Chains A and B, each alone.
Chain A
């Protein structure tokens, strides 16, 4: 059974169709990438899945759960975490604190127990920190643990945001343009992280990305969309050779 099943979803902003009947299925363990020109609706698709936007029609099922019946804050608890295109970290907190907030979906204590700081709360805190340290080791962030986000280089912030998503122990990770703004070298590192997450953590990854080098290096399957509509689906090589895709990318340059 597919882990994520997006079935002919549509989304409109004030009469303009941003997404129009897009469907795809993501199988467990694969890296599935969505590509398309700017304004094709890729990020909107992510915002639909993580419930920030309500779709006009269609269905989204994750691991047997109807996502459309969920509130946005309930999504991550089901095992579906995400990152943002322009990094939404808490700038005035340390890396460690950011990752601890990432554990929120796994909290077991209630507010009045926190207020009294019962032994149970301490036990839970230790468990949270153990998990966080595992991810810090995994993504090699130990050097930045106690640093403020505000002072970190952009490339590190990108990794911290992925770490913040990972501490929730998701099974599916939505990465919104993980390589945007990164240098060539940082992009190579990002490719390694993605492969590690897929192989070592057994994660399923859905990604939006422009950098075709990265896309063809890590993706198992690619979906191309343009103007909110699906164009083609296949392996990275198939997509790059697909005539419809080329036409959409080059903006009809081959027409008279």
Chain B
């Protein structure tokens, strides 16, 4: 919806950024992210690290759900695999970097192995199977005591990197930069994927398996690859999450986390990398906002009892409203707002009207 521009070279379409101005926007965002610790202070820097970790996990889910069209209700399982592998290796004396790489790899490979039997299912059946998988891994985290520390779980050791000792509470700013650099790396790789044949094959599988197959896409292999990459990213996020919360056990990765992850990318907006970030912001900011609102209310004399589950219920309400009004999530809302400003005063109400889409059957006639 940006202003018309004439493309003169193929690279105009191939490049990551549409134009110099577009590139500048993202450089500014990066600059802001780099300056954040000075702007926010250490408490909110810690919260921002949390946003980054959930963004990473969200990107893992987005790749699978938003870009390949395969629903997962069990992705916390892969966070668990990443976290436990990473921490178990570090506690056995491994250095941070190889431990992180191994954890990412192990998550990816377990994803690929599980993908084979599971990805033959589709739609709701796939969602159910991944849900069951999530519950099984929850249990496995208790049983596999030598690796996972059983019921007590594992404590994250401090990270030794470039002569620094990085610790979420001791050195929150260093930890924030660590998360930021990893998130930037993954985001770049993700956007590379989307502008190349591999990403296009993911989209093809999402939109029509029949057509994808006719165009030469090996659907089984593409789904397996998407699942593996998705699980690798989620596993990496899990490893970082271990350092973020400092201690993990089986309760850190309950099925409810998997569900929250799926809801996160849907709130953010399926089918765009932005959505993973928008969703993570909501996940982290919402409980904070509710706590602040409660404090404000009690300051003016209204005492509100702390209802357990209020965060999740408000989050769920947001989901319900979005699903009915703007299925493209917050990213869709953002697009509307941006377009409104760009086209002011010409914006029409029906501009984004959804084309009525009917359930497309995957059957051949």
Q: Is A104 an interface residue (CB 8 A)?
A: yes
Are the CB atoms of A122 and B14 closer together than 8 Å? Answer: yes
Q: Give bound CA distance, A81 to B214, whole Å.
A: 7
Q: Give bound CA distance, A90 to B10, whole Å.
A: 22
Are the CB atoms of A117 and B195 closer together than 8 Å? Answer: yes
Q: Given A84-B211, A121-B196, A77 and B216 touching (CB < 8 A)?
A: yes
Query: Which A residues from 74 to 91 make CB contacts under 8 A with B?
Result: 74-77, 81-82, 84-86, 88-91
Are the CB atoms of A72 and B214 closer together than 8 Å? Answer: yes
B303-324 vs A, Cβ < 8 Å mask (1 yes, 0 no): 0000000000000000000000
* Nearest Cβ on chain A to B354's Cβ, whole angstroms: 10
Q: Given A114-B198, A117-B196, A129-B14, A90 and B208 touching (CB < 8 A)?
A: yes
Question: Which residue of chain B has the shortest Cβ distance to A126 in the bound complex?
Answer: B10
- Residues of chain A with a CB closer than 8 A to B349's CB: none
Binds A, one of B147-155, B161-169, B217-225: B217-225
- Residues of chain A with a CB closer than 8 A to B210's CB: 52, 84, 88
Are the CB atoms of A109 and B197 closer together than 8 Å? Answer: yes
* Nearest Cβ on chain B to A245's Cβ, whole angstroms: 24
* Nearest Cβ on chain A to B103's Cβ, whole angstroms: 18
Q: Give bound CA distance, A1 to B250, whole Å.
A: 66
Binds A, one of B199-207, B234-242, B251-259: B199-207
Q: Is A93 an interface residue (CB 8 A)?
A: yes
Q: Give bound CA distance, A107 to B218, whole Å.
A: 12
Q: Given A93-B207, A125-B14, A107 and B197 touching (CB < 8 A)?
A: yes
Are the CB atoms of B11 and A97 closer together than 8 Å? Answer: no
Q: Give bound CA distance, A97 to B195, whole Å.
A: 10
Q: Is B346 an interface residue (CB 8 A)?
A: no
Q: Is A143 an interface residue (CB 8 A)?
A: no
* Nearest Cβ on chain B to A118's Cβ, whole angstroms: 9
Are the CB atoms of A126 and B200 closer together than 8 Å? Answer: no
Cβ-neighbour of B217 out of A73, A88, A89, A125 (below 8 A): A73
- Residues of chain B with a CB closer than 8 A to A89's CB: 211
Are the CB atoms of A115 and B203 closer together than 8 Å? Answer: no
* Nearest Cβ on chain B to A129's Cβ, whole angstroms: 4
Are the CB atoms of A164 and B225 closer together than 8 Å? Answer: no
* Nearest Cβ on chain B to A28's Cβ, whole angstroms: 22
**Number of contact residues on B: which range applies?**
20 to 34
Cβ-neighbour of A129 out of B10, B198, B219 (below 8 A): B10
Are the CB atoms of B196 and A109 closer together than 8 Å? Answer: yes
Q: Is A147 an interface residue (CB 8 A)?
A: no
Query: Which A residues from 87 to 116 make CB contacts under 8 A with B?
Result: 88-93, 96-97, 100-105, 107, 109, 111, 114-116
Are the CB atoms of A111 and B214 closer together than 8 Å? Answer: no
Q: Is B365 an interface residue (CB 8 A)?
A: yes
* Nearest Cβ on chain B to A123's Cβ, whole angstroms: 10
Q: Is B35 an interface residue (CB 8 A)?
A: no
Q: Give bound CA distance, A47 to B210, whole Å.
A: 11
Are the CB atoms of A105 and B189 closer together than 8 Å? Answer: no
* Nearest Cβ on chain A to B44's Cβ, whole angstroms: 33
- Residues of chain A with a CB closer than 8 A to B203's CB: 90, 93, 97, 101
- Residues of chain B with a CB closer than 8 A to A194's CB: none
**Number of contact residues on A: which range applies?**
35 or more
Q: Is A168 an interface residue (CB 8 A)?
A: yes
Q: Is A12 an interface residue (CB 8 A)?
A: no
Q: Is B355 an interface residue (CB 8 A)?
A: yes
Q: Give bound CA distance, A5 to B207, whole Å.
A: 33
Q: Is A43 an interface residue (CB 8 A)?
A: yes
Question: Which residue of chain A has the shortest Cβ distance to B204 in the bound complex?
Answer: A101
- Residues of chain A with a CB closer than 8 A to B201's CB: 101, 104
Q: Give bound CA distance, A100 to B214, whole Å.
A: 14
- Residues of chain A with a CB closer than 8 A to B357's CB: 91
Q: Given A114-B192, A168-B216, A43 and B365 touching (CB < 8 A)?
A: yes
Q: Give bound CA distance, A92 to B270, whole Å.
A: 13
Q: Give bound CA distance, A91 to B11, whole Å.
A: 25
Q: Given A117-B192, A129-B13, A150-B355, A101 and B200 touching (CB < 8 A)?
A: yes
Are the CB atoms of B211 and A125 closer together than 8 Å? Answer: no
- Residues of chain B with a CB closer than 8 A to A204's CB: none
Q: Give bound CA distance, A221 to B168, whole Å.
A: 76
- Residues of chain B with a CB closer than 8 A to A82's CB: 214
* Nearest Cβ on chain B to A16's Cβ, whole angstroms: 15
Q: Give bound CA distance, A50 to B357, whole Å.
A: 28
Interface centre among A84, A88, A97, A122 (most CB of B within 10 A): A88
Q: Given A86-B365, A125-B196, A92 and B225 touching (CB < 8 A)?
A: no
Are the CB atoms of B225 and A111 closer together than 8 Å? Answer: yes
Q: Given A77-B216, A116-B189, A126 and B11 touching (CB < 8 A)?
A: yes
- Residues of chain A with a CB closer than 8 A to B215's CB: 76, 101-102, 104-105, 164, 168
**Nearest 10 pairs of A and B residues by beta carbon:** A105-B216, A114-B196, A88-B211, A117-B192, A114-B198, A76-B216, A107-B197, A129-B10, A90-B207, A111-B198
Question: Other CB < 8 Å A-B pairs besides A86-B365, A115-B198, 9 of them?
Answer: A75-B216, A76-B214, A76-B215, A90-B203, A104-B201, A115-B189, A122-B11, A122-B14, A126-B14
Q: Point out residues on A near B: beta carbons under 8 Å.
A: 43, 47, 50, 52, 71-77, 81-82, 84-86, 88-93, 96-97, 100-105, 107, 109, 111, 114-117, 121-122, 124-126, 128-130, 150, 164, 168
Q: Point out residues on B near A: beta carbons under 8 Å.
A: 10-11, 13-14, 189, 192-193, 195-201, 203-204, 207-208, 210-219, 225, 229, 355, 357, 364-365
> Can you show 16 pairs from A to B with CB atoms below 8 A apart?
A52-B364, A81-B214, A82-B214, A88-B208, A88-B214, A90-B208, A109-B196, A109-B198, A114-B199, A115-B198, A116-B189, A121-B196, A124-B197, A125-B195, A129-B14, A168-B215
